[in-house]
Amino acid sequence: MKTSVDCIPCFVRQTLEAVRFVSTYPSVHEGVVREILRCLARFDFDQPPPVVGQMIHRRLRELTGNPDPYKSVKERYNRLALEMLPELREQVKQQPDPLLASVRLAITGNVIDFAAISGLTEDGVRSSISRALAEPFSIDIDRLRREIKRASSILYLADNAGEIVFDRLFIEQLPTDRVTIAVRGRPVINDATLDDARAAGLDEIARVIHNGSDAPGTVLDDCDLTFQAHFNAADLVIAKGQGNYETLNDEKKNILFLFRIKCETVASRTGFKTGTNVLTGTPGKNG
Amino acid sequence: MKTSVDCIPCFVRQTLEAVRFVSTYPSVHEGVVREILRCLARFDFDQPPPVVGQMIHRRLRELTGNPDPYKSVKERYNRLALEMLPELREQVKQQPDPLLASVRLAITGNVIDFAAISGLTEDGVRSSISRALAEPFSIDIDRLRREIKRASSILYLADNAGEIVFDRLFIEQLPTDRVTIAVRGRPVINDATLDDARAAGLDEIARVIHNGSDAPGTVLDDCDLTFQAHFNAADLVIAKGQGNYETLNDEKKNILFLFRIKCETVASRTGFKTGTNVLTGTPGKNG
């Protein structure tokens, strides 16, 4: 999807939050915000929002000389999620529909997002996850089940660190010999990379690749050829997170998006309310 | 006060709301937002926030060729407030402390602000005003009473149309022969001009002047000499609205600010919470 003019105030706010996260110097805050304002003023709004995010966070890494400012945050949320994993796995087993239960937990894990969500805390994540199976929820689980059954190859696009541990519960319900999991190629915000996939133990249950890109989404032109080949060959793509939705929703490809709606722009685009957890698909080749 | 880096996302949001208010063309929305981003990127943050507002709204008026885009809104809220005036005047009379009651209504009227408040409605204003006298409220009314008593000349700086009608209730409690009321020199957002002062009947109870400026605050250097002379000569300045606070709070002058705290930046600067109605002063020459 294209970037909306409504995304602009939000990007400026995100820039400010991010620069404060990586630096305590007011002069750095002001300098980065000024630079991002200049970039936004000439930005090609036909590009999806994660391309703006990519630009902002590249600049932050350059300015701070820190190639992975969110490293400790990613480790912290991986650890938190791993602590919760054994008990959640038991809960999933005991549910009448373990696939549905695991999907609900995986989508709820999408709250661990340092780009779109202000004031994220470990307690907030614990509380969201503990409510995930009890709250009313409506997804087209039959479509998901059907698509999984008929796909001879599934590409699973992960989103954030921490969240990726909850993805594991879902991926364990899939025919893992037919699954490839893809993470970002390089650090950007708290998006999951190969390190996080390994921390979550995903490499023990399925093939894991990276996409070669540092966009907080899947900008196909920016991904490496290996990833592109996997993407093109997959019968079904399961894409986690709003960034993957924003970059892939116009693709002519069979994609199921699992994410939390984090802003009004995507809410109005999808027809769901902000704050809801959704499973929605492209019309797809098997539509 | 200087502009904070935290004001920037808010200005971009305000620009978007304002350009949608004055034009229905998406290309105009995008063009104005891009231009304001460029201006913000090079803006002198030592200037107070209303100087940014002045720039944004000048540009909007130029682009739309409409010298007063908020004219009908101003007329609507003047009418609304005038409809409420007789009953409120009765209520003020019946209160044990009519001065305090009128001040509370005048400050509550500061919700009629198309710059800082999103989604303003007539019902919202009616509801705020009807609660104004019933809610807990803490202002230093004794300081106000003392300052009024000893001032041989009072300059009352009005803020918005509609609000100015509620100001009248307060001004009627003052020694009006010693009061001069000042409004903006030219239209900007829904700020009150001479037309609004006349619509509210303020010219019938005190001397009314304009400040010669189109800033949504009181930028002294931008005001005309007549206004500056009144400002310098006044023993006491009573300044309504956050814009007047932001532009005058560092002045070495006896000023009492009456306004609703509309953002976190001013909240942290003043020590009050966002959404509270306050009366606060400069240390002043009579401190």
Q: What is the pLDDT along chain B (287 residues), one digit of tens a residue?
A: 999 999 999 999 989 988 998 889 999 899 999 999 999 999 999 999 999 999 989 988 988 888 999 999 999 999 999 999 999 999 999 999 999 999 999 998 888 887 776 778 888 888 888 888 877 666 788 999 999 999 999 999 999 999 999 999 999 999 999 999 999 999 999 999 999 999 999 999 999 999 999 999 999 999 999 999 999 999 999 999 999 999 999 999 999 999 999 899 999 999 999 988 889 888 754 44
State how far Cα A194 lies from the chain centre: 14
Query: What predicted TM-score, i.e. pTM, was given to this entire model?
Result: 0.84
Q: What is the pLDDT of residue B22?
A: 86
- Could you tell me where the DSSP H helices lie in B153-272? 163-171, 194-199, 225-233, 242-248, 264-270
Of the candidates A12, A29, A41, the beta carbon closest to that of B9 is on: A12
A20 touching chain B per CB within 8 A: no
Please choose, from the candidates B13, B40, B18, the residue with its C-alpha nearest in 3D space to the C-alpha of residue A7: B13
Q: Where are the domains of chain A?
A: 7-64, 71-281
Of the candidates A148, B9, B105, the residue with the CA atom closest to the CA atom of residue A156: A148
Q: Which residues contact A143 (CB under 8 A, 6 or more apart)?
A: A256, A279, A281
> Which one has a higher pLDDT value, B238 or A285?
B238
Determine the pLDDT at residue A252. Answer: 94
Sign of CA pseudo-dihedral A276, A277, A282, A287: negative
The 10s digit of each residue's pLDDT in A224-265 is 999 999 999 999 999 999 999 999 999 999 999 999 998 999
Give the closest-approach CA distance of B70 to chain A in angstroms: 22
Q: In what order do the strands lie in the sheet with A255-260?
A: A207-210, A179-183, A154-157, A236-240, A255-260, A277-281
pLDDT range class, residue A152, cuts 50, 70, 90: very high
A38-52, A100-114, A117-131: which range is least confident on average? A117-131
Name the token pair of A139: 């997804």
Pairwise CA distance, residues A165 & A84, whole Å: 9
Q: What is the pLDDT of residues A161-177, one digit of tens each?
A: 999 999 999 999 999 99
Q: Is B150 on the interface with A (CB under 8 A)?
A: no
The matching CATH number, chosen from 3.30.1050.10, 3.20.20.10, 3.90.1580.10, 3.40.50.10880, for A71-281 is: 3.40.50.10880
Q: Which two tokens stand for residue A213?
A: 């890109």
B45 touches chain A (CB under 8 A): yes
Q: Are B265 and B6 in contact (CB under 8 A)?
A: yes
Contact call for B5 and A16, based on CB within 8 A = yes
Give residue B286's pLDDT: 46
Which 3 state secondary structure label does DSSP give B184? coil
Report the Cα–Cα distance between both ends of chain B, in Å, rounded: 19
Is the CB of A287 inside 8 Å of chain B's CB atoms?
Answer: no
**Measured between alpha carbons, how far is A143 from A99 in angstroms, rounded to an integer?**
12
- In angstroms, the CA B155 to CA B178 distance is 9
Q: Is the CB of B37 inside 8 Å of chain A's CB atoms?
A: yes
Interface test with A, best of B7, B37, B118 (most A CBs within 10 A): B37
Q: Is the dihedral of CA B262, B266, B270, B272 positive or negative?
A: positive
